Amino acid sequence: MSSDSTSPHRDGEHRATPKEVGEPAPAFELPGAGEDGIDTFDLADYTEEGALILSFYPFDFSPICTQQLCGFRDAEWLAFTDNIDVVGISVDSAYSHHQFRDEYGLTFPLLTDRLASVAGQFGVRYDEWERHPAVCQRAIFAIDTSQTIRYTWWTEDGSEQPTLDDLYESIEWVA
């Protein structure tokens, strides 16, 4: 997919498109809601012993975002794969994430990228979306143990839903 909009990069530069397969994943540390409540989560914690799937999404409780995250919850292949973790990232607060996880039985952490700065580092930030400034675009990145991006999917159309079939078919690199 392509993008005509620009997204702020960490150094104030602008990225016209998301990070691509083969590029290093930007390091991050974000607050969020996980199994033990609200905590801080770090990319390195997830990539030490396995792969990480980052699922960026605009907002908790919106219908398409709920479908997207429940799709990960319901993916049988993820339930039987010990060395792949899933993390959701949006601009919503950790408190909203906690409620969202509880209401939908999500078993993976939801992280708070309040200003969409991490989304910007990955090149998937709307400057404005539905009258909200700085929002994460809908995107998926799979990252390996060397913190290299091995799969990407993103869209400019916030109503477009990713298919997890393509992601599943692309993860043969996970041991």
Report pLDDT digits (tens) over 122-154: 999 999 888 889 999 999 999 999 999 999 999
Per annotation, catalytic residue among 65, 91, 116, 149: 65
125 found inside a domain: yes
3 found inside a domain: no
Q: b or e along 20-57 (b: 16 or more beta carbons within 10 Å of the residue's beta carbon)?
A: eeeeebbebebebbbeeeeeebebeebbeebbbbbbbb
d(CA 10, CA 144): 22
164 found inside a domain: yes
12 found inside a domain: no
Which pLDDT does position 16 carry in this prediction? Answer: 54
Provide φ and ψ at 91, rounded to 5°: -85, -5
8 found inside a domain: no
**The whole model's pTM is what?**
0.87
Q: Which domain holds residue 143?
A: 24-173
Write the CA distances from 147 to 43, 47, 51, 151, 158, integer angstroms. Answer: 8, 7, 9, 12, 27
Give pLDDT < 70 ranges for the chain: 1-16, 173-175
Which pLDDT does position 35 carry in this prediction? Answer: 92
89 found inside a domain: yes
CATH of the domain at 112: 3.40.30.10
* Residue 70 annotated as catalytic: no
Which pLDDT does position 77 carry in this prediction? Answer: 87
135 found inside a domain: yes
Query: How many separate domains does the chain show?
Result: 1
110 found inside a domain: yes
